[in-house]
Structure 1
Amino acid sequence: MATLLEIEAAIEQLPESDVRQLAVWLQARLDEIWDRQMEADLSAGKLDNLIARAEADISASLVRDLDEVLHNT
């Protein structure tokens, strides 16, 4: 397995188009990691308190529709 320094050195040798393609791949990989972490946290109940607070705020009409916020109406 290559070290991080070896990988960085190899990336330095790539043409820009390949670096950009790698960046897209890396972002997709990070997104997958994030999704798995969120699913694990949800399954473990780590988000239950936040979900309950959000539901309570919605029930109390303490939130606004996202379109309303984005359009500042």
Structure 2
Amino acid sequence: MSNLDQIEAAILSLPSNEFEQLRLWFLDLDYKRWDKELEQDIEDGKLEAFAQEAIAEYESGHCREI
């Protein structure tokens, strides 16, 4: 049995309250990893083209208040 299979089996056997704690922990971990990835993409300049496009749209008046 692989580690993943063991983890899945353990998760399925959790009581509801412990499953909820695990779910919240996992979501928090996922958000933190995504934030780090986004920060790295920004640092690497991967989002620069999107930022410039958004600025150009705003400056040309193609934006509206929401």
Q: Tell me whether the two structures share a fold, i.e. TM-score over 0.5.
A: yes
Q: Which amino acid aligns with 2:26?
A: L
Identity of aligned residues (%): 32
For 2:64 and 2:40, the matched residues in 1 are separated by: 29
Which residue of structure 1 lines up, in the alignment, with residue 6 of structure 2? 6
**Residues matched between the structures, number:** 65
Q: Provide the TM-score with structure 2 as the length reference.
A: 0.89
Where do residues 54-69 of structure 1 align in structure 2 (5 Å cutoff)?
54-65=54-65, 68=66
In structure 1, the gaps of 5 or more residues are 69-73
In structure 2, the gaps of 5 or more residues are none
Where do residues 4-43 of structure 1 align in structure 2 (5 Å cutoff)?
4-43=4-43
Consecutive aligned runs of 4 or more in structure 1 exceeding 2 Å deviation? none
Root mean square deviation of aligned Cα: 1.3
Note the C-alpha offset of 1:58. Answer: 1.0
Q: Provide the TM-score with structure 1 as the length reference.
A: 0.82
